[in-house]
Structure 1
Amino acid sequence: MPPAPAAARLMAESGTSVEAGSGKRGQVLKEDVLSAIKSGAAAPAPAAPAAPRAPVATDDAAREERVRMTKLRQTIARRLKDAQNTAAMLTTFNEVDMTNVMALRSTYKDIFEKKHGQKLGFMGFFVKAVIQALKDIPAVNAEIDGTDLVYKNYYHIGVAVGTDKGLVVPVVRDADQMSIAGVEKAIGALGRKARDGQLKIEEMMGGTFTISNGGVYGSLMSTPILNAPQSGILGMHKIQERPMVVAGKIEIRPMMYLALSYDHRVVDGKEAVTFLVRVKEAIEDPQRLVLDL
């Protein structure tokens, strides 16, 4: 019989396959998948055959270097392609004026670091802004399970982290119950574990929405790929000063492009645009985050 929904989701996220479980009539349960992952006994999920490579001239082939893909890179490649093949993926864009949140950060960053032992970045503000937007537009925090839509009334926010071995997405669980300081601490701790290769598989599972910050590498605009089975991912980008018209006058403002990629099977265009506007409004008026408005 088919695996339990939680087990099926975990196998899809981890790229593993468990044939027989401990449930009734051999049904695979979530505990079976976790046990198999920890013991290293889970078989890799079958990968779709790659298209054959075009012939290469002999002289060119002699100057190439062939390196075996790591297991992590193979899993990343498979999951991204699966997401692209499954979801009706679309991206909508907006831009956000970072003036106020940058001023707030500049004013309190030293006090914040002294009190919490953690630098104050922008990710904490964006996580809280995203959660407010998810509460307003619950479809972005939903996923498809067969013929059902599953609306999640919890907020486990994945934060993409680049490492030497590839991109991983640790999850800040129940981020809605944390302060901005709590979110920053959680992200800092998970980021260090990711870069040290110490992340546990459980710490990358169960996310309901993902944030990816390509701006730290200089990206001005991009279309992020969904982190399946989630229905939305927010792409942050480089902050760049641009001339903007403010109250009829041209002013230089620090602007950031935002991109929301979403699964159009779950999220309508109006909902996606509204979600991104909610994020923009919260970041441009960060006091709203403190007052939960």
Structure 2
Amino acid sequence: MAFEFLLPDIGEGLTEATVVRWLVAVGATVALDQPIVELETDKAIVEIPAPRAGTILHLGAADGAVIPMDSLLVVIGEPGESWGTVAPAAPAARVHRPEAAPIVGTLEDADATTIRPQALPLVRRLASSLGVDLGGVTGTGPGGRITRDDVAAAAAVTGEVERVRLSPTRLAIARNLTRSWQEIPHVTTYGAADPSALLAERRRLAESGPMPLEALLIHALVPILVRHPAFNAGLDGDTLVLRKHYDVGVAVDTPEGLMVAVVRGAERQAVAELAVEIKRLAVAARDRTIRAEELRGATFTVSNIGAVGGGYGTPIIPYGTTAILSVGRAVERAMVREGVVVPGREMPLSLSYDHRVIDGAAGRAFIADVVAAIEGVGE
């Protein structure tokens, strides 16, 4: 009997997925748990396995199509079995939309008080495709109407534009950042540390292999998170959830956008172990083989913007957590030590936190501990 497999929930907040490519075709025989399709969602490309063995009778969407969760993904049955007329698909839920006003008359009939530029729909579409703002175009047609020639002339002045559709990954990043910025009252506290001890320890450890700076930072941060539990937490309604595990997110710059890969159980790992895991996650994120679960569940996040030349910043808190630390590039500075101006180096630190649960004094105490930990590495 044919089995209709619906798109499962494969990510937090998932509402739809894009079919990257099918790994099977109609008529193919598949085994249980054999990968059948690649889907893009929630910043990752994931493979969906066959829920049962059998023959592929129907593919629910073409490559590149966007399909909503719980919609038909694939039909698997027995060899020679047919599918497609067993039962009609349920009608789509009716979505209420405001009724559009009827298109009657000409532009000259429009209310004279409107501030919308006068242009026919065809002209508006042309302006949109050329990136021309009709508000800045003077119409030369009857009654001041904007014509195609007016739009073309404006485009020649403003230059060419390119309209690029955002990828599913970029859209997911945009939604998550917007939600965080709109719902979390951010406060950012700044500090600076002398990175001499940290960088010396990194050079020493790098003699045995590449040593990501994030490995040393996370190793130094875990004891601080233990002392300041509100920074390793999440707000659930009117309850602050203090997490007793330390799954630290590491921001990874990829061609598709910034992703936060999660180092699980950072409190149980030595620096060398952290280095291996961070490198593995970074490679997986950049070549799109990272698993969806490796991009979720961070309890605190570290963003090394110094790797791309950044200094101070205002990092956005990942939704579901209370804080993020941004570490900038170490730069040479004139320092005053015991009343004497001497050359030195300074590492910029930017700590953003949720002001609903963390006040300014706690933020300053946390970043002071971070400075002390960085300057005391190796002691």
Letter in 2 for 1:234: L
Please tell me whether the aligned partners of residues 187 and 355 of structure 2 are also in contact (alpha carbons under 8 angstroms): yes
**Alpha-carbon separation, structure 1, partners of 2:157 and 2:367:** 47
SS at 1:170's partner residue?
strand
Cα distance in 2, alignment partners of residues 276 and 128 from structure 1: 15
Answer yes or no: is 1:16 the counterpart of 2:113: no
For the residue of structure 2 that corresponds to 1:169, the secondary structure is strand
Deviations 1:210-234 (A, max 9, x none): 1111111111211111111111000
**What residue number does 1:144 align with?**
235
Structure 1 counterpart of 2:274, which letter? V
User: 1:64 aligned to 147, 155, 161, which one?
Assistant: 161
Cα distance, 1:67–1:41 mapped onto 2, change above 3 Å: closer
Once the two structures are TM-superposed, the CA of residue 109 in structure 1 deviates from its matched residue by 2.1
Flag structure 1 segments of 5+ consecutive residues without an equivalent.
Answer: 1-7, 18-33, 45-51, 114-118, 289-293
Q: Secondary structure at the match of 1:139?
A: helix
1:210 and 2:209 are equivalent in the alignment:
no
Are 1:120 and 2:211 an aligned pair? yes
Deviation at 1:107, TM superposition (A): 3.2
What is residue 358 of structure 2 aligned with on the other side?
Answer: 267
Contact (CA 8 Å) 2:326, 2:349: kept in 1 or not?
yes
Q: Hey, what does 2:92 align to over in structure 1?
A: none
| 1:228-261 C-alpha deviation (Å, 9 max, x unpaired) | 1111000011110111112222221221110000
What is the identity percentage for the equivalent residue pairs of Structure 1 and Structure 2? Answer: 33
TM-aligned CA deviation for residue 108 of structure 1:
3.7
More helix by share: 1
The superposition leaves residues 183-233 of structure 1 with CA deviations (integer Å, 9 ceiling, x where unpaired) of: 111100000111111111000111101111111111121111111111100
The structure number with the bigger radius of gyration is 2
For 1:170 and 1:185, how far apart are their aligned partners in 2?
Answer: 13
Partner of 1:86: 183
Residues 119-138 of structure 1, C-alpha deviations (whole Å, 9 max, x = no match): 12321121122211111110
- Report what 1:221 is aligned to: 312
What amino acid maps onto 1:76 in structure 2?
I
Q: What's the counterpart of residue 339 of structure 2? A: 248
TM-score, length of structure 1 as denominator length: 0.78
How many residue pairs match? The answer is 249
Shift in Å, 1:283? 0.8
Cα contact 1:159–1:172 (8 A) shared by 2: yes
For residues 251 and 92 of structure 1, what CA distance do their matches in structure 2 show?
26
Q: After the TM superposition, which segments of 4 or more aligned residues of structure 1 sit over 4 Å from their partners?
A: 37-42
Secondary structure, counterpart of 2:212 in structure 1: coil
Which residues of structure 2 form unaligned runs of 5+?
1-8, 17-41, 49-65, 71-127, 135-153
Asked if the contact 2:331/2:347 (under 8 Å) is kept, the reply is: yes
1:233 and 1:262 in contact (8 A); partners too: yes
The Cα offsets for residues 48-80 of structure 1, whole Å up to 9 and x where unpaired, read as xxxx99926433676000111000000111110
**With structure 2 as the length reference, what TM-score do the two structures score?**
0.61
* Structure with higher strand content: 2
Change (3 A) 1:127 1:16: farther
For 2:204 and 2:220, locate their aligned partners in 1 and report how far apart those are by CA, in whole Å.
20
Q: 1:276 aligns with which of 359, 367, 370?
A: 367
CA root-mean-square deviation: 2.6
Q: CA deviation at 1:161?
A: 0.3
